[in-house]
Each structure stands twice: as C-alpha cells, then as structure tokens.
Amino acid sequence: MTTGYYIIIGLFMLISWFVGNQLQSKFKYYSKVHLANGMSGREIAERMLYDNGITDVKVISTPGQLTDHYNPENKTVNLSEVVYHERNAAAAAVAAHECGHAVQHAVGYNMLEFRSKMVPVVSFASRMNQWILMLGLIVMASSNNATLLWVGIILFALTTIFAFVTLPVEYDASNRALAWLKSRNILLPNEYEGAQDSLKWAARTYVVAAIGSLAQLLYFIMLAMGNRRSE
C-alpha cells in the first residue's frame, strides 16, 4: 500500500490514541467519585431495567476491563467486574449505558435493529476486505485491472456504513442512560456530571473510528478511480 494510506492510518491511530487515553483518564478520575447512595453498577443496572419495565434481562458480571456490553441474543447486560461491583460515577455511567441498549431492544429502536441485521454481513466483510484490498492493489499495479479492488472497496464500505450506524445507537443509549439517571435522581449533581463526561468521551471513540474508516474508504476509491482515468 502507498505512503498516503500509511499517513491516513498513522493520523487516525494518533487521534484514536489521544481519545482512548482521555477516556481511560476520565474513567480513572470518575472511579474515585464514590456515589452517595452507595449503589453498585449491578444495582444501578437492575434498577434501570426495573424502572423501564424490563423483567426478562439479567445483569451478569463478565471478566476483563471495558468488556461491558448488552447481548440481545440471550438478553443479558454484561458488566465488567469493576463496573459490576464498584460504586462510583464511572461504574454508574457504564451500567446505565448498557441498560440503554436493553431499553432500545425492548422498545424496538430501529437503528439498533438495523445494526443487528448488518452484523452477519459485516462480520464476513471485515474478515475478507483487507486481503481483497491488498490483492486488488497488487493486481491493479500489475495489470491495470481494478475489478478486484472495487470488490474490496464494496466490502470495506459495508464496514464503514456499520461504523456510522453504530453512532446513533451509542449516542441514543447514552442519552437514555443520562435521562434516567437525572429523572430518578440517582446521582448527585457532581456525580451526574462525571457520568455525563465519561459517556461523552466513550462516544468519541466511535466517532473517531467511523471517520477513520470513511477516510480509508475514500482513499481506496480515489486509487481505483485514478486507475480508471489512466487507462
């Protein structure tokens, strides 16, 4: 791959590192903001599910760090051990956010449903696109035939679309979480601000990933179109 590609990758790796570093710093800081109500991440998650009338979703602990997620297949809110047990603003933010996805599932939030339908196709595309793009560039360089490269571009486009579809899903889950935390007076003002700031930086990691994917996609499209003009 050419120098331009590595410049794009390097730039977004740097931005991603900065945002990720800020996210870890924020979570570390807000992990020291202990909740006055003494509720753990598990208790907050169970309370949010209950308040939203969701009785068929279980809150469970999962190993690792930042492994928190909602699984719509078995209807479980999976909280990392730290979030599950601890009683601070960061844990509250993550627990409520993952329950936000459970609420989306329960109410049939259209973007979540669309994203879920994309998963099998995107899973295949993400496994294949890098190899096909690489082979496509080699074939184009040797024979001026960009057909295989365009196949790789189509597969890469699917992963890019998926990244952008993920954005409203994540932002909506955070908005649902923050709205519930505020309306139920679960957190004190300073605790709420910590939860809000934590989720803001978490969302930015998805924004960076989506924009980085789009930049790479446009780069490959320009390469393929440039080959067409040179024919």
Residue 41: give the domain boundaries: 3-230
**Interatomic CA distance for residues 177 and 196, integer angstroms:** 9
3-state secondary structure 66-93: CCCEEECCCCEEEEEHHHHHCCEHHHHH
Please identify which residue in the block is written with the tokens 């969302």: 203
Structure tokens at 65: 């760090």
Mean predicted confidence (pLDDT) in 47-70 = 95
Q: One-letter amino acid identity for 226?
A: G
- Percent pLDDT > 90 in the chain is 75
* pLDDT value at 230 more than 60: no
Give how many domains the chain has, as a whole number: 1
Q: One-letter amino acid identity for 194?
A: G
Contact status, residue 201 vs residue 15, Cβ threshold 8 Å? no
pLDDT per residue over 119-131, tens digit each?
A: 999 999 999 998 9
